[in-house]
């Protein structure tokens, strides 16, 4: 595969749309569309600086899950606490801020931050961190008027019941929930 053209086709407030033209393995042109959270000047910028974090948070052998309305699918889904890194913010400060904004909880210990990974590799160059965190405190809603979030701790049997019932999850939250339910987290 050889990239031959790279063009921004839409500049939204949060997402930028690009059309990329490749020569496929048969030498024919293949157009592909992607979105990015960043302004890209060309292929060298694809998959650059991480833009956010997903937080796998635990407290006393329970897993924090958000049940939140997601406009992109027009329904409530189970999700991890997550958010975007603000200008000048390091990943640790982002974790503390996002956890507090979405749940009111505080970071007790950041156990591990994995290297950035692609969040939606089929259609975006966005990379994010995954952080494993022990949390403490009481729930309170500090989210914006554009977010509808209900945060709760779930035991292993409760997480297993959510998965077995086919409740809607984001893919990262479902993977984290499954690993937690079988004792892997």
Predicted local confidence at residue 178, as pLDDT: 98
Instruction: Specify the long-range contacts of residues 26-34, CB closer than 8 Å, at least 24 apart.
Output: 29/4, 33/9, 33/123, 34/123, 34/124, 34/125
> What is the architecture of the domain spanning 52-181?
Alpha-Beta Complex (3.90)
pLDDT of residue 9: 96
How far is CA 155 from each of CA 7, 112, 178, rounded to the nearest angstrom?
48, 21, 12
Quote the pLDDT of residue 180: 98
Residue ranges in the chain whose pLDDT is less than 70:
none
Q: What is the largest CA-CA distance in the chain?
A: 59
Report pLDDT digits (tens) over 71-98: 999 999 999 999 999 999 999 999 999 9
Give the whole-angstrom CA distance, residue 166 versus residue 31. Answer: 36
Domain boundaries, the chain: 2-45, 52-181
Q: Which pLDDT does position 144 carry in this prediction?
A: 84
């Amino acid at each position: 595969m050889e990239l031959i053209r790279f063009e921004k086709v839409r500049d939204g407030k949060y997402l930028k749309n690009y059309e990329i033209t490749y020569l496929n393995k048969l030498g024919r042109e293949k157009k592909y569309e992607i979105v990015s959270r960043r302004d890209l000047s060309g292929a060298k910028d694809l998959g650059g600086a991480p833009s956010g974090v997903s937080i796998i948070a635990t407290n006393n052998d329970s897993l924090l899950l958000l049940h939140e309305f997601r406009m992109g699918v027009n329904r409530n889904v189970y999700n991890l606490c997550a958010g975007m890194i603000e200008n000048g913010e390091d990943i640790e400060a982002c974790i503390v801020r996002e956890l507090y904004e979405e749940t009111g909880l505080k970071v007790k210990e950041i156990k591990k931050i994995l290297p950035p990974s692609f969040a939606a590799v089929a259609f975006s160059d966005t990379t994010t961190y995954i952080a494993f965190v022990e949390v403490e405190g009481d729930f309170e809603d500090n989210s914006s008027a554009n977010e509808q979030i209900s945060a709760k701790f779930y035991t292993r049997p409760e997480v297993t019941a959510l998965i077995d019932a086919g409740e809607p999850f984001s893919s990262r939250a479902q993977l984290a929930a499954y690993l937690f339910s079988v004792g892997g987290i």
